[in-house]
Amino acid sequence: MKALVCYKWVKDEADITVDTAARTLNMDKAKYKVSEIDRNAIELGVVLNEQQGVEVVALSVGQTVNASIKDVLARGAEKAYYVETQELDSYVSAKVIAESVKKIGDVDLIICGEGSGDQYSQQVGPRIAAQLGYEVVTYVSKVEVNDSEIIAERKLDDGVEVVKVQAPAVITVLSEINEPRIPGMKQILSAKKKPSEELSLADLGFTAEMLEGLVKVTNVGPVVMDRKQIRMNADGVSVKESVSKLVESLKANKDI
């Protein structure tokens, strides 16, 4: 079996600062990293390789993704593919990934994180499956592979569902499925010897017009809460009077 792990190269939220006055996010100093849940997806691929001999390759689509190759190969992928492009929405990203899968060929299992670390739309995995006509299983917390059969546990709000599907299939995993290993020096050094390949948009059959998404983001900003800091129990006012004043204040501001 050949498994393809999809991952996203995102800005590290720890480096993002908030300008409360302008109500904007400053990302100028933010470094990039592999999206957190996608690390779980990569780890799952590596575990399947160790336990079942599954061939594991990785794919990323986005801006400056070439810089992610060394990290992903150090985490255990045997080969990395990447498509350099502008920021895409979930709809177009899934189409580009689907065409990349066709170009790579012989992919039996596609593993995605349940959602990316920036947008967390939870749409890319199911959209890829729809584009390729693959089976899809979401919210996966455990996976077993038996020849071409994939057995997955789905963690739902009201319990756990066990699903069996035949490859080819797409699964989207939860962060609790495993604990991603931190690459050691040996893995980092061996990553330099592993192959990588760029897939161009032209080779995949995409034009600039085809990259226009269905959703356009005009602004990204933080939620800023302005507190009124009104004390209802100032100057020795009793609890009963404080509660009455609070209720009247909430009614006046139409909060209740």
CA distance 45 to 22: 43
Give the contacts of 190 (CB within 8 A, at least 6 positions apart): 74
Is residue 160 within 8 A of residue 141, CB to CB? The reply is: yes
Q: Average pLDDT for residues 183-187, to the nearest whole number?
A: 93
CA distance 111 to 137: 10
Q: Average pLDDT for residues 224-253, to the nearest whole number?
A: 79
pTM of the prediction?
A: 0.82
Q: Average pLDDT for residues 76-105, to the nearest whole number?
A: 92
Domain edges within the chain: 2-211, 226-256
Concatenated DSSP letters of the chain: -EEEEE--EEE-GGG-EEETTTTEEE-TTPPEEE-HHHHHHHHHHHHHHHHH--EEEEEEEETTGGGGHHHHHHTT-SEEEEEE-S---HHHHHHHHHHHHHHH----EEEEESS-SSS--S-HHHHHHHHHT-EEEEEEEEEEEETTEEEEEEEETTEEEEEEEESSEEEEE-GGG--PPPP-HHHHHHHTTS-EEE--TTTTT--TGGG--S-----------------SSGGG--HHHHHHHHHHHHHHTT--
CATH topology of domain 2-211: Rossmann fold (3.40.50)
- The pLDDT, as a whole number, for residue 255 is 59
State the pairing for strand pair 9-11/32-34: antiparallel
Asked if pLDDT for residue 220 goes beyond 60, the answer is yes
Q: What confidence category does residue 256 fall into, taking pLDDT thresholds of 50, 70 and 90?
A: low
Q: What confidence category does residue 101 fall into, taking pLDDT thresholds of 50, 70 and 90?
A: very high
Q: Average pLDDT for residues 18-45, to the nearest whole number?
A: 87
CA distance 89 to 52: 34
